[in-house]
Structure 1
Amino acid sequence: MMFLKMPRFKKHQLRLISVCFSALLFMVYWEKIDNNIVSHVKSFSYRHLLNSFTFINASLRVNPKDSLQYRYLINHERKCDEKDILLLLFVKSSSENFERRQAIRSTWGNETYIKKTLGVTVRVLFALGLHPEPEYRSKLKKQLFSEDQRFHDLIQQDFKDTFHNLTLKLLLQLGWKENYCHHSQFLMSADDDVFVHTPNLIRYLQGMGRWNARDLWIGRVHRGSPPVRDKESKYYVSRDMYPWVSYPDYTPGSGYVLSKDVATRIYQASLSINASFHIDDVFLGICAKVLDISPKDHSFFAGEGKAPYHSCIYNQMMTSHGHISDIREMWKRVTEDEVGKVSSGLIRRLFCTITKVRLLCLPFISNSYPCKAAFFFT
């Protein structure tokens, strides 16, 4: 009798071991599954089914008198003395990134080129904090002073320039715009590893300006993004700091544009929102949500990756992310005379549409622009 039951027992034993092993694997990887899948499902559901962020009004408020104030170490109060300024363009940089700033000054951030070629006044400034390691600060202080004496385009405050202080760098930009360049029609914020197609951007903003643009906040919009709960990630946000399952809509800090009225209103709101929340682009989204301001998605503001190298892309590009050593080469490519002719005419437009589908719509090929950008025409 015992002999007859043994095979059946072994069969169930194997199943039991398999179930236990599967359960063990599930427990081991549950945190990653929760962070990468479950949290996104929860967040997406909250954003698109409930779409209510009323908790922000009370939960993240602070007394404006308690807002952090930092001293200017380098400032140019008269940089915006000209009346007719279309765009104040702030580039977030680090003290040691001199070569990146030089590349930007000689390409897409060249104010003289913009004035001469596009006929508008743009002010390009670099937002800086203090190097986090004290032993480097003295050396960098001298270098920055020499650099600023030559170019007059650095704005520095005395907070530590770290990832967890990016919100302070955002407040530097908003505060400087409000106090020293209030009349600029638009404010743009960009990272120093981002390529900005200035001619395309200027033409776009000029079109907006003709209609006296208000309530404009434009970039690549993230909707229904969950807080990162993985403690190994630099984007980690604890539940004590932000206990909810979804962020309000926001645009990545790599590059976005605000109209004058929105920049002012968000700056005023930022004074009463807890600035210890260190994800600067989400902080901007929180401030905007308090004011019931929503971002407008533009397909050619880049995501996390570089734009494909193709003339059909250059004709509509606004920003491209991840440029450190190739900014000058990129500038040369996008400003060639032939680029502007690529998408003119029915046959060429059809060619560019097919090309963009190939570059943007195939899985795992590009993470810069969405597939819908292939059918976007200016």
Structure 2
Amino acid sequence: MGEKAGPSSDHSGGLGLEPVPRVHLPICDCTSVQRDLSFILFSVPSSPHLTPIPRKRTIYKSVCLSLALLVAVTVFQRSLTPSQFLQEPPPPTLGLQKAQKPSGHRLNPDNFWKNPKDVVTPAPTFSQGPQAWDVTTINCSANINLTHQPWFQGLEPHFQQFLFYRHCRYFPILLNHPEKCNGDVYLLVVVKSIITQHDRREAIRQTWGREQESAGRGRGAVRTLFLLGTASKQEERAHYQQLLAYEDRIYGDILQWDFLDSFFNLTLKEIHFLKWLDIYCPNVRFIFKGDDDVFVHPTNLLEFLADRRPQEDLFVGDVLQHARPIRRKDNKYYIPGVLYSQASYPPYAGGGGFLMAGGLARRLHHACDTLELYPIDDVFLGMCLEVLGVRPTAHEGFKTFGISRNRNSRMNKEPCFFRSMLVVHKLLPTELLAMWGLVHGNLTCSRKLQVL
């Protein structure tokens, strides 16, 4: 800003005040000035007959008097502090800024004259998500514009129904248990279930879904939750809802949202749980997510996690590579070409059961929100992982298609194989209870598979 100011005798404290210019007075007889000043201020002509003062002398005295007054005012001003000039209160905006005390960039008096572009500004902060479930009403209507599309007319009715409401992502929560994440939670076990399958939930509570206050080795608790929608049949909904409410009063482990339980809505369970986790469980280390017809060996899960860190991009399970969309209409997993035109899916873990780190799960929630819903839930999660650039890790201990893909194989009933696994799909409730008893009983095996 122009030339650098030279040293001055004013003590403005670096507040940017202009130095008072020096005044050079002409040399005069100060005694004479004082005498003349007293004469002007206090002498009153007593008679009109007094001899008038010569004009030149009067002008000279006036000049000296003015200069003397200027010197007096200057000295008086310099004796005051800068704050004494602020007789009025600061503007309201300045008072507000002082009250807020922003924690970012603070204005330094030494930087007051710097160009604003040279001042470092704080990094932008991203708004945090909701502190509670923020969807309280169902406000969703069918996208009838699709009926005018030629390709839409040729789709099967259940695909048309899916596409009609594909844009409806989040629904109100009916049963909620945020207290499940209170304290130090090491592993959160999350099970997808439907309202009519109480027997499966009960079998899980008695076996691998049993909660623990400590995962051992100084680790936190193991907690269990079941994810549900509402009954798909209107005539049964009220009856089953009453039974579910009673079950939840007993166990307090059910999360339920107000959407229909159906195959295509399994993807809704994925995104609803991820959002719920992001809101209520910021400190959970790991999550196991599985179906209600699988066998899980909790001891093996915890042993596998012993050397893992929650900060890792851990997503491990029975991974499918280069899987192709099924185009046969008689198949449960049929996908029409208009819905997915690529030749293969990104890598994904079978939805029967997988493990993921808590930090990755929270990032996964935001990644999934960038994609349109897809009717196959485990494929959809693979797409979300692809958005993050994370590849799921395959592990031999996850058997979401059975220990042997041949359903009639005796290996699928052999408890010694189950004792070495982490997850095996699939078993009925009675089979789960029986296998759990065998694996945790006096079982003698010729050798133990090393899969951890």
Aligned partners of 1:201 and 1:318 also within 8 Å: yes
Aligned partners of 1:225 and 1:246 also within 8 Å: yes
Which of these residues, 147, 158, 170, is aligned with residue 258 of structure 2?
A: 158
Q: Which residue of 1 aligns with 2:382?
A: 285
Equivalent positions of 1:128-207 (< 5 A) are: 128-207=228-307
Does residue 1:232 correspond to 2:336, yes or no? no
Unaligned segments of structure 2, at least 5 residues: 1-166, 404-410
Structure with the greater alpha carbon radius of gyration: 2
Deviation by residue 1:310-360 (Cα, 9 ceiling, x = unmatched): 454234210111111211111112223556xx5xxxxx6xx55xxxxxxxx
Deviation, structure 1 residue 98: 0.4
Q: Which residue of 1 aligns with 2:402?
A: 305
Amino acid in structure 2 at the alignment position of 1:92: K
Question: CA 1:335–1:167 in structure 2 vs 1: closer, same or farther (change >3 Å)?
Answer: same
Amino acid in structure 2 at the alignment position of 1:204: F
Q: Distance in 2 between matches of 1:225 and 1:195?
A: 25
Deviation by residue 1:95-145 (Cα, 9 ceiling, x = unmatched): 010011000001110104876899741111000001111111100010000
Q: Distance in 1 between matches of 2:325 and 2:349?
A: 15
Deviation by residue 1:285-316 (Cα, 9 ceiling, x = unmatched): 00101111001100010131256344542342
Deviation, structure 1 residue 282: 0.4
Amino acid in structure 1 at the alignment position of 2:396: S
Which has the larger displacement, 326-335 or 308-317?
Answer: 308-317
Aligned partners of 2:187 and 2:288 also within 8 Å: yes
Q: Distance in 1 between matches of 2:175 and 2:419?
A: 37
Aligned partners of 2:397 and 2:451 also within 8 Å: no
Equivalent positions of 1:49-60 (< 5 A) are: none
Does residue 1:256 correspond to 2:354, yes or no? yes
Q: Which residue of 2 aligns with 1:69?
A: 170
Amino acid in structure 1 at the alignment position of 2:375: H
Unaligned segments of structure 1, at least 5 residues: 1-65, 343-347, 353-373
Deviation, structure 1 residue 262: 1.3
Aligned partners of 1:95 and 1:128 also within 8 Å: yes
Aligned partners of 1:71 and 1:158 also within 8 Å: yes
Q: Distance in 2 between matches of 1:67 and 1:181?
A: 24
Aligned partners of 1:118 and 1:199 also within 8 Å: no
Question: CA 1:193–1:228 in structure 2 vs 1: closer, same or farther (change >3 Å)?
Answer: same
Aligned partners of 1:92 and 1:191 also within 8 Å: yes
Query: How high is the TM-score relative to the length of structure 2?
Result: 0.58
Counterpart secondary structure, 2:295: strand
Counterpart secondary structure, 2:180: coil
Number of residue pairs aligned between Structure 1 and Structure 2 = 278
Aligned partners of 2:416 and 2:439 also within 8 Å: no
Q: Distance in 2 between matches of 1:377 and 1:133?
A: 43
Higher relative contact order (CA 8 A, sep 6+): 1
Deviating beyond 3 angstroms after TM superposition, the runs of 4 or more aligned structure 1 residues are 112-120, 306-312
Aligned partners of 1:127 and 1:172 also within 8 Å: no
Amino acid in structure 2 at the alignment position of 1:75: N
Which of these residues, 436, 442, 446, is aligned with residue 331 of structure 1?
A: 436
Identity %: 35
Q: Which residue of 1 aligns with 2:137?
A: none
Amino acid in structure 1 at the alignment position of 2:332: K
